[in-house]
Amino acid sequence: MQAMSWTQARSTGVREVDSVVLGKLLSSTPAVLRIVDIREESEVAECAIPSMFNPIHIPRGALERDIAKHCPNIDAPLVLVCQGGMRSTVAAKTLASMNYTRAYSLQEGVSVLVQLAAMQKKMPDQDENVMGDDEILQRAASALAEQERNQKLCLMFQASLGSKHSQRLRLRRKDLPSVLWLSQ
């Protein structure tokens, strides 16, 4: 059997999730959602997924052999995570071919989980009785997605200025994403 490339996996309809969808999955199905880290041992040593996500580590090379040991329910939601989202896309396609019905690839990779955990820790002055962990995760995911959209907007606007312009683009936080201005 020939290995599938990332572009082939994406073109065959692999379900990918971004930080917003991940936040919704985490808040709606926290007990059954499994985060599966498919990175190699050396990558995990460099940047571990925060324990709050209760990740399962199965290197990509052992996924087909070991997934049933850790996740016997083929209908449970699985979010596959790699460094940048490419290997997890191929792995999600592989699991779909093994009849796993809810295998998702995390588009942005492990950095999303690290950022979500950091944002949850930074949530200011929230009464724990008013807002639970699930809602905090969902808000953090939404904030992260908003931040990523704003960064893309900045890059697109800077590119439209052309190389002859040397102005710096700035975003005012309170007006995001609607107001952009240039400072000289």
Kindly report, residue by residue over 11-35, the tens digit of the pLDDT.
566 888 888 888 888 877 767 889 9
CATH class for the region spanning 1-184: alpha beta
- 3-state percent breakdown (helix, strand, coil) of the chain, nearest 5: 50, 15, 35
pTM, entire model:
0.64
Name the residue ranges covered by the structural domains of the chain: 1-184
Task: Spell out the residues 6+ positions from residue 55 whose beta carbon is closer than 8 angstroms to its own.
Answer: 35, 36, 37, 49, 81, 113
Structure tokens at 137: 């995760």
Q: 101 in helix, strand or coil?
A: coil
Could you read off the pLDDT of 66-112 as tens digits, one per residue? 999 999 999 999 999 999 888 999 999 999 999 999 999 998 889 88
